[in-house]
């Protein structure tokens, strides 16, 4: 059984001390989905929402969120992101927008939370910009797909 690194001797939450860790190249990829009616996905694809280009705004929001993850998640370290990239795949017939975020750094701690935060906030932005047209939008399956770097090495999700 693995111990939780964010819990101290007396069960109190704590920020992990990463001072002695080596600086390594680290990368994480996260994915999630926004599920809409097919007509909503088609409007996103054709950029016909009055609020503007939904995916460009969502991409910007996701990037901004990744940079502020340390301010949103209490025990995350503020880290220097060297790259954050967000891509969208629209499957309009199914009413699905897949979001993928890739975060990179050269540092002492990983960027998994930054990648997942980017996906979550990009998805919430899509919801916010489209909710007037589709009240049944849902967000699902936000998960880490891959991470590399650091002492624990590489992780790849199988599904």
- Which helix (H) or strand (E) segment is 143 a member of? strand 138-148
**What is the extent of the structural domain holding 98?**
24-149
Q: By three-state DSSP, how is residue 113 classified?
A: helix
Check residue 85 and give its pLDDT: 98
Q: Is residue 131 part of a domain?
A: yes
Q: Is residue 72 part of a domain?
A: yes
Residues 55-67: tens digit of each pLDDT: 999 999 999 999 9
Domain count, the chain: 1
Check residue 9 and give its pLDDT: 67
- The sign of the torsion formed by the CA atoms of 80, 77, 24, 158 equals negative
Query: Given 83, 85, 87, 128, which residue is catalytic?
Result: 128
Q: Is residue 44 part of a domain?
A: yes
Q: Is residue 159 part of a domain?
A: no
Check residue 20 and give its pLDDT: 86
- Our answer to whether residue 128 is catalytic in this structure is yes
Check residue 51 and give its pLDDT: 87
pLDDT-based confidence at residue 95 (cuts at 50, 70, 90): very high
Q: Is residue 80 part of a domain?
A: yes
- Which helix (H) or strand (E) segment is 21 a member of? none
Q: Is residue 68 part of a domain?
A: yes
Residue listed under structure tokens 């001797």: 9
Q: Is residue 113 part of a domain?
A: yes
Q: Is residue 141 part of a domain?
A: yes
Residues 62-87: tens digit of each pLDDT: 999 999 999 999 889 999 999 999 99
Supply the CATH number for residue 28's domain. Answer: 3.30.70.640
């Amino acid at each position: 059984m693995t111990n939780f690194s964010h819990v101290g001797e007396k069960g109190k939450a704590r920020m992990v001390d990463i001072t002695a860790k080596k600086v390594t190249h680290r990368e994480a990829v996260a994915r999630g989905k926004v599920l809409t009616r097919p007509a909503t996905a088609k409007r996103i694809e054709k950029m016909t929402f009055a609020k503007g280009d939904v995916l460009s705004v969502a991409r910007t929001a996701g990037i901004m969120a990744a940079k502020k993850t340390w301010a949103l998640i209490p025990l995350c370290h503020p880290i220097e992101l060297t790259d954050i990239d967000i891509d969208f795949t629209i499957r309009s017939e199914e009413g699905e927008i897949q979001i993928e975020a890739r975060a990179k750094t050269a540092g002492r701690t990983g960027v998994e939370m930054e990648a997942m935060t980017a996906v979550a906030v990009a998805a919430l932005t899509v919801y916010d910009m489209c909710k007037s047209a589709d009240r049944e939008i849902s967000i699902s399956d936000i998960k880490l797909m891959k991470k590399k770097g650091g002492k624990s090495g590489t992780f790849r999700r199988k599904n």
